[in-house]
Amino acid sequence: MLAALGLMAGSAAPAATLTIQVMDAAGEGFNDPAPFTPIGGNNATTLGQARLNVFTEAAQLWGMLLNSPVNIVIEASFEFGRTAMGLPRFSGRAAAGRFLSGGAR
């Protein structure tokens, strides 16, 4: 699943485009089909979509700080588990798939 976000710090600032590429398998993490009751402005109806909505909001906040003509691809996954003591453990990850450098040609 890909979600492209055009993000702007203000109306006069250029947009940084962030593309979220969900790396979770079907039925897991951001793709969890468990029912979710919308709350606090998160209008998702599945748990996976609710998680992705929060992740997307965080990406939008980051995007307000960025000024980039290059599309930024974020490989993202979300894991839920339990600690050895049975307490909930959440892990959301993001990574860059490729790094490019160099000046304009």
User: What pLDDT, in 10s, does the model give residues 43-100?
Assistant: 999 999 999 999 999 888 888 888 888 888 888 888 877 778 877 677 666 655 666 6
What is the residue extent of each domain of the chain? 2-9+27-96
**Which residue, 20, 6, 70, is CA-closest to 48?**
20
pTM here?
Answer: 0.71
The structure tokens listed for 50 are: 């609710």
pLDDT 10s digits, 11-30: 455 568 888 999 999 999 99
From 16, 21, 22, select the one nearest 71 (Cα to Cα): 16
Whether the Cβ atoms of residue 30 and residue 24 lie closer than 8 Å to each other: yes
